[in-house]
Amino acid sequence: MKEIDEQKLQQLLEQGLSLPDEALSAGEEQELERYSVLWEALEQPVVPGLSPRFAANVTARIRLEKDRKTEFRFNLLIAAVCLLLGGGAIAALIVFSGNTPVMQLLSHYGPILPGGLALILLIQYLDQKLVKEKVRSYS
């Protein structure tokens, strides 16, 4: 059998007719096999896939998580710097001043200073987190 054109081959597959009993060449048999596999695949019902916005949503969530980690590291760095500077300032006052009014004030209100600093940093962190959550909920 000579070359089977695509339209004739598709008609035969659509109608479910068999091919003529003539011998097919190797290329024609391969082409017939490809067409029959394709035809069977096209008859299968379409499986619903992922939504078109799936990749965008995944990318946005990954970016958001990365931003959150970066913000946390930044806040941790600010807290560490503030604590080190505060501790250094208090150590300098203790070492370089004797019995002055500043030392009396520090000895009386000293335990409140680290707590106040921690409270200020906590308020700043919560404010930043809540404001960003509100902004995300509006967009």
* Same domain (yes/no): 130, 105: yes
In a domain? residue 48: no
- Both 64 and 115 in one domain: the answer is yes
Same domain, 70 and 112: yes
pLDDT for 64 beyond 80:
yes
In a domain, 1, yes or no: no
What tokens were used for 60?
A: 């946005």
Distance CA 80, CA 70 (A): 15
Angle, to 10 degrees, between the axis of helix 54-96 and the axis of helix 112-138?
A: 160
Number of compact structural domains in the chain: 2
Specify whether the CB–CB gap between 39 and 12 falls below 8 A: no
User: 61 lies in which domain range?
Assistant: 54-138
**pLDDT over 50 (residue 1):** no
Whether residue 82 is contained in a domain is answered as: yes
Q: What is the Cα–Cα distance from 134 to 105, expressed in whole angstroms? A: 41
Provide the mean pLDDT of the chain: 76
Residues 6+ apart with CB under 8 A from 78: 121
Q: Has residue 24 got a pLDDT over 70?
A: no
58 lies in the same domain as 78: yes
Q: CA 107, 112, 118, 120 torsion: positive or negative?
A: negative
Task: State percent of the chain over pLDDT 90.
Answer: 3
Q: pTM for this one?
A: 0.41
How high is the pLDDT of residue 137?
Answer: 61
Is residue 121 one of the residues assigned to a domain? yes
